[in-house]
Amino acid sequence: MPRPTPAQLASGSATVVLSALALLLFTRTTHALGVAAIGVAAMALGLLVATALPMSRALKAASRPGSSKRTRGAAAPAPRPKAHAGAGADSSGTRR
């Protein structure tokens, strides 16, 4: 599994902190169960944001014209040969 990039760490951490703070201020909860639920929700949201960050960059790069991995001068891959009949198969096309 690849290590997270600094951008992923920063965006995920900021999302956790800010969403937890906002939810705690808006709900005004004081019960331990409510605080725990908000903490879990904030962590899940931060994880979602951190893992979605590379996907959005890949989608942007793929939508650009000329962003394919093959260069302009590169030849197209050679076609694959057709599969041959198995051993003992009649390849003449006539029935006996």
pLDDT of residue 2: 76
DSSP string, the chain: -PPPPHHHHHHHHHHHHHHHHHHHHHH---SHHHHHHHHHHHHHHHHHHHHHHHHHHHHHHHHSTT-SSS-TTPPPPPPPPPPPPPTT---SS---
For the stretch 12-68, pLDDT in tens is 899 999 999 999 999 998 899 999 999 999 999 999 988 887 765 555 666 666 655
pLDDT, residue 25, reads 93
